[in-house]
Amino acid sequence: MKDDETSVLALKEKVKEFCDSRDWDQFHGAKDLAIALAVESAELLEHFRYKSDKEVEDSFKSEKKREEICEEVADIFGMLLRFAQRYDIDLAAELDKKLVKNEKKYPLEKSKGSNRKYTEF
């Protein structure tokens, strides 16, 4: 399955089927899923801690390191999909609303070419 071959809804359904078949609703409350998202995000960060920008870029050139990073990204995405599926969150609609909000918060004339390294999404 590839990004251009599927929909968010199909991915949410796939995660739902996987979790339902294991009776995991009992473990997947909002708090537990939010904690899992934070933990999985921290596991992704471990791959970059104390590394220079060049070392990070080189990580993606190593097949083994890239695979490890991709696994963490998949864990995060899976947890996010599960959270959205369990609590009826339309990810596409919410992203669209957030982008509209951020267009006002970060107008092009103040943001483009800015030397600010960190911005919120």
- State the pLDDT at residue 113: 73
Q: What b/e string do you get for 10-48 counting C-beta neighbours within 10 Å, with b at 16 or more?
A: ebbeebeeebeeeeeeeebeeeebeebbeebeeebeeee
Residue 117 has pLDDT above 70, yes or no: no
Q: Where are the domains positioned within the chain?
A: 27-89, 90-121
Task: Look up the pTM and report it.
Answer: 0.87
User: How far is 53 from 116, CA to CA, in rounded Å?
Assistant: 16
DSSP calls for 95-114? HHHHHHHHHHHS-HHHHTT-
Q: Is the per-residue pLDDT at 26 higher than 60? A: yes
pLDDT tens digits for 57-79?
A: 999 999 999 999 999 999 999 99
CATH for the 27-89 domain, from 3.40.50.300, 2.40.50.100, 1.10.150.650, 1.10.287.1080: 1.10.287.1080
